[in-house]
């Protein structure tokens, strides 16, 4: 199969292919998604097959406007309107209880809930409108590997296996959306993202708990990205705390291990390495935007035995960054 790169003037053609059950990757402000018509179970099954994704892992349903949820949602949490007005379109996924039979179990992972998101990308919102149905949209990459933040990442992983990619350059945020569970009484974060715990609490005026439960391989997750290990390159990753860089690099030299650095300019300037991916600046925003690109670049470039990655405080956006990095590193820090 030829994988076509679609431009904005070719949206109708891409939408036509989606209606025929083909797969089209699409851009969002977070990462690129692998699109299939959410109402065509056989097309959705292709998503799992192409990604190599476990079939019990539920998919996020991408919509172009709030009214598209009404066909599926059984009842809305009392805070839904306030949340939607504040954060949609944007990097926030909401989980609702759904009407029985309204979505295929292939989409929901067999759960009585489903996840919905309105991405903040005009090209993709138009693509959904042109298709006429919501689109499932897990990250457009091989399952378990770093998520794609450019069309070229998608092409690298899925060329010849999907019909096309809607290109809109690099994503702005770089990690997947926050997932907020609204199927119970208390809104609960299942996956941190750019809509932070602090931002939700400021907007809603209530405490919003973070579910820190990590799902084992034998469990069915309620939202994507809840496994212990995820977003992982083939090269082992070790997280390095700020005071451990000198010891980590000395250990690698003593063990005759080649390494790459994934770090801010502040760290990269202090510790030499011929193989490195340096974030655009020292901010958590730059680190989050560059995390998946950096993991991919170090994994696919010059061969190294391991990747040393910089850590950040686990608050605000740093919580989302560390959530992904911990899973990419299988929870492992460098330890003396």
φ, ψ of residue 148 to 5 degrees: the values are: -85, 135
Hey, which bits of the chain come out as E strands? 4-6, 24-26, 33-37, 60-62, 92-97, 113-117, 135-136, 164-166, 178-181, 188-191, 237-240, 259-263, 276-278, 306-310
Residue 141 annotated as binding site: no
Residue 218 annotated as binding site: no
Residue 324 annotated as binding site: no
| Residue entry with tokens 């579910």 | 211
Q: Is 229 exposed, middle or buried (0-12, 13-18, 19+ CB in 10 A)?
A: middle
Residue 155 annotated as binding site: no
Residue 113 annotated as binding site: yes
Residue 53 annotated as binding site: yes
In whole angstroms, what is the distance from residue 57 CA to residue 40 CA? Answer: 17
Residue 117 annotated as binding site: yes
In whole angstroms, what is the distance from residue 175 CA to residue 160 CA? Answer: 25
In whole angstroms, what is the distance from residue 141 CA to residue 51 CA? Answer: 6
Residue 76 annotated as binding site: no
Closest CA to 237 of 127, 120, 105, 332: 332
Residue 256 annotated as binding site: no
Residue 231 annotated as binding site: yes
Residue 57 annotated as binding site: yes
Question: Which residues are annotated binding-site positions for ATP?
Answer: 53, 57, 113, 139, 147, 191, 231
Question: Which residues are annotated binding-site positions?
Answer: 30, 53, 57, 62, 113, 117, 139, 147, 177, 191, 231
Question: Which residues are annotated binding-site positions for L-threonine?
Answer: 30, 62, 117, 177
């Amino acid at each position: 199969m030829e994988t076509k790169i679609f431009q904005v003037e070719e949206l109708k053609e891409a939408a036509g292919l989606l209606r025929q059950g083909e797969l089209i990757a699409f851009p969002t402000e977070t990462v690129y998604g692998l699109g299939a018509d959410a109402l065509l179970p056989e097309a959705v099954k292709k998503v799992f097959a192409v990604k190599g994704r476990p079939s019990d892992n539920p998919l996020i349903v991408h919509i172009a406007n709030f009214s598209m949820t009404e066909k599926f949602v059984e009842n809305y949490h009392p805070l839904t309107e306030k949340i939607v007005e504040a954060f949609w379109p944007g990097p926030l996924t909401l989980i609702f209880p759904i009407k029985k039979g309204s979505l295929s179990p292939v989409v929901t992972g067999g759960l009585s809930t489903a996840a919905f998101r309105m991405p903040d990308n005009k090209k993709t919102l138009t693509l959904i409108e042109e298709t006429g149905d919501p689109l499932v949209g897990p990250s457009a990459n091989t399952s378990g590997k770093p998520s794609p933040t450019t069309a070229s990442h998608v092409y690298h992983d899925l060329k010849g296996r999907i019909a096309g990619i809607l290109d809109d350059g690099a994503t702005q945020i770089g990690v997947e959306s926050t997932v907020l569970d609204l199927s119970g009484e208390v809104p609960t974060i299942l996956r941190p993202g750019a809509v932070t715990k602090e931002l939700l609490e400021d907007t809603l005026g209530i405490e919003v708990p973070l579910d820190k439960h990590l799902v084992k391989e034998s469990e069915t997750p309620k939202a994507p990205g809840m496994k212990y290990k995820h977003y992982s390159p083939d090269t082992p990753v070790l997280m390095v705390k700020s005071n451990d860089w000198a010891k980590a690099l000395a250990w690698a030299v003593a063990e005759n291990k080649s390494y790459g650095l994934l770090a801010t300019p502040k760290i990269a300037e202090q510790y030499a390495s011929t193989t490195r991916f340096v974030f655009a600046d020292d901010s958590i925003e730059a680190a989050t935007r560059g995390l998946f690109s950096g993991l991919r670049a170090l994994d696919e470039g010059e061969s190294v035995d391991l990747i040393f990655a910089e850590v950040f405080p686990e608050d605000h956006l740093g919580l989302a960054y560390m959530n992904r990095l911990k899973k990419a590193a299988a929870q492992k820090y460098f330890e003396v």
